[in-house]
Structure 1
Amino acid sequence: MLTDTRAWVEKQLSTGERVEGVVPLRGGWTSEMRRLDLRGPGGRRSLVLRTFVDPFFVRHAEGLLNREAAVLTLLRKTDVPAAALVAVDAGAHHCDRPSLLMSLLPGSVRVDDGTAAERAGPLARQLLRIHRVPVAGDSRPRAHQAWTSAGRVRPPERTGRPELWRRAVDVIRRDPPPHRGCFLHRDFHPGNVLFSGDGADLRISGVVDWVETSWGPADLDVAHCATALALLHGVPHGMRFADLYTSAGGTLDEDPAAHLYWRLLDALAFAPDAEKVATPWRELGRTDLTPGVMTRRLEDYVEALLERYG
């Protein structure tokens, strides 16, 4: 931890507390995450420090980190297990780089295949609770933004299914369907969810990474988690998630064409190879997720979506 950032952190601590240790946290790709182990008169505790270092995210840090700070404040009054905000320096006025300090949540990120089916139901129910967060008009987050468009999609260089990609891109070429907005996490997927316990005691103990929070269709949040599940665990897991969400009481667009639009708008943003999400997953032990595996799963998932909803 750099000098200015450490000094800023220490100003946020209780009297007599000091940073005893700094431990890098794995599994993220937009920022550096560190656990700060503290010791003071009241004993030991830990906080988490998020720091943007990539030039792209540093340029957009004020909007992203201030948004996350506002969302964490909002969520303190809800049953969503989010961290408590301690302090934020989005403009790096005091820190070496844009930073946000928050409480440490219990649990761990789980991306193994072994209990993927058991975790899917809790994921769907947690996402529904997020969508039901009440937000006053003046506290409503920004409108959702698409992460790709028909003109930006790049199919895999050696795809054997060019017609599949043409059909998929044609779906998102049209205007977005009319929709009813709700509170979106906007980047909800297994890498941003912490689990505790096993078997009957399995539960979600934390949801992290609220920098993309926005207002938009529930279908888009469901689409994003479904794409991640398809890439991480296989196409059937991705195809099942929307059904789990509606079984939990969630509402998605009844028009298959409209639902397909949101599903493909998300999936095509991962083209050509979904490598950006595979890297942190491999750091968590999923070394089987090679570029070839990710490309095949993405193509198979797009094909499954067109077959079911097209």
Structure 2
Amino acid sequence: MRPSTRGWVSRYLHAGERIIDAEALTGGITAEVAKLTVRMVSGAERYLVLRSYTDSARLHHAEDWLDRESNALATLSGSCVPAPELVAVDPRAGYCEFPSLLMTHLPGSTLLIDESVEVRVRMLARQLVEIHAIDANSRPREYQVLTTADTVVLPARADATVWSAAVDLIRGPTPRYEGRFLHRDFQPGNVLFDISDSGMPRITGVVDWAGASWGPTDLDVAHCSTNLALLHGPQWGSRFASAYEEAGGTLSNNSRARQYWCVRDALACSAEVQLWASPWRDAGRTDLTPSVVEERLCAYVRLLMDAPQAR
């Protein structure tokens, strides 16, 4: 750990506690994340998680992201959503070398394998319904779009006709929506699971709340759908929306609006699709080569555009 950051973290430890280890956690894209081992007075150990924004290209977003995450964790405290507890935040690097956030550590790990994906899709859907049911006393900031019709990057394997139609679709007016509390990056890489002795997974945590926003439930569902399509195949992207409604979630009653949000999110990842997939390969999904991921994205966009005529 960097000296100033270590000193800052130490201010939030209990009397007699000390940091004995810092282990880098993989899977993130925008920030450095470390698991801190704290030795308690009793000799037992407990864990904290430190998120620091060190990349110069992302520092100008750090304050906003940390404010969003700290506010979201405060909102979720005591709720049925298994999120970390906020310990401290230094969004402007007043004490640390870099903008940082300190939170509690949650048990479990990500599950990105194809095996039992049907079970996990239903669990993810139920968890997202619970997130959208949060009654935020302090409404988070409005959602931000990650791409526009003029900034979409056409993949090398894309069908130009299909993608042109998709771009035209998101060039149209934004559908009306009833806002809800959004995670904004809800996807398998940000959900922790534990496996019971019987082999049944259960969700133990939802992490990375830096994009917490106010907006349409369709947007969170669309984002998870895109990730599932790239991880497990295009059909799983379509399946997630159905699972969300089966779990009691509410999406737009206008099929054109549903298509709009799904297409917008899929196109938003086109410029960074390989960046998205890199942590998955690091986590063991070596089958997700650049060509496979790009082909799945193109197949998913085609599937969305081939959907029955919108009402």
Match of 1:172 in 2: 170
User: Given the two structures, how large is their TM-score scaled by the length of structure 1?
Assistant: 0.96
- Shift in CA distance, 105/167, structure 1 to aligned 2, threshold 3 Å: same
Alignment of 1:132-211 (within 5 A): 132-136=133-137, 139-156=138-155, 158-159=156-157, 161-198=159-196, 201-211=200-210
1:265-298 C-alpha deviation (Å, 9 max, x unpaired): 1000111461121011111011111111111000
Q: Which amino acid aligns with 2:165?
A: R
1:184-235 C-alpha deviation (Å, 9 max, x unpaired): 0000000000001245642110000001000111000000000000001101
- Shift in CA distance, 120/160, structure 1 to aligned 2, threshold 3 Å: closer
Q: Report deviation, 1:104.
A: 0.4
For the residue of structure 2 that corresponds to 1:222, the secondary structure is helix
Unaligned runs of 5+ in 1: none
Q: Distance in 2 between matches of 1:200 and 1:24?
A: 28
Q: Which amino acid aligns with 2:259?
A: L
Q: Which amino acid aligns with 1:124?
A: A
Q: Distance in 1 between matches of 2:275 and 2:217?
A: 24
Q: Distance in 1 between matches of 2:158 and 2:110?
A: 34
For the residue of structure 1 that corresponds to 2:239, the secondary structure is helix
1:47-82 C-alpha deviation (Å, 9 max, x unpaired): 000011112321111111022111111101310000
1:10-38 C-alpha deviation (Å, 9 max, x unpaired): 11101111111111111111111110001
1:173-192 C-alpha deviation (Å, 9 max, x unpaired): 01101111101000000000
Q: Which amino acid aligns with 1:100?
A: L
Match of 2:120 in 1: 119
CA RMSD of superposed structures (Å): 1.2
Q: Distance in 1 between matches of 2:268 and 2:14?
A: 44
Q: Which amino acid aligns with 1:167?
A: A
Q: Distance in 2 between matches of 1:213 and 1:295?
A: 27
Contact 2:158 2:298 in 1 (8 A): no
Q: Which amino acid aligns with 2:285?
A: R
Q: Distance in 2 between matches of 1:72 and 1:113?
A: 30
- Name the count of aligned residue pairs: 307
Between the aligned residues of both structures, percent identity stands at 48
Q: Distance in 1 between matches of 2:5 and 2:208?
A: 20
Q: Which amino acid aligns with 2:56?
A: P
Match of 1:26 in 2: 26
Q: 2:309 matched to 1:307?
A: no
Match of 1:242 in 2: 241
For the residue of structure 1 that corresponds to 2:4, the secondary structure is helix
Match of 1:67 in 2: 68
Match of 1:257 in 2: 256
Q: Which amino acid aligns with 2:111?
A: R
Unaligned runs of 5+ in 2: none
Q: Distance in 2 between matches of 1:67 and 1:294?
A: 30
Q: Distance in 2 between matches of 1:259 and 1:160?
A: 22
For the residue of structure 2 that corresponds to 1:56, the secondary structure is coil
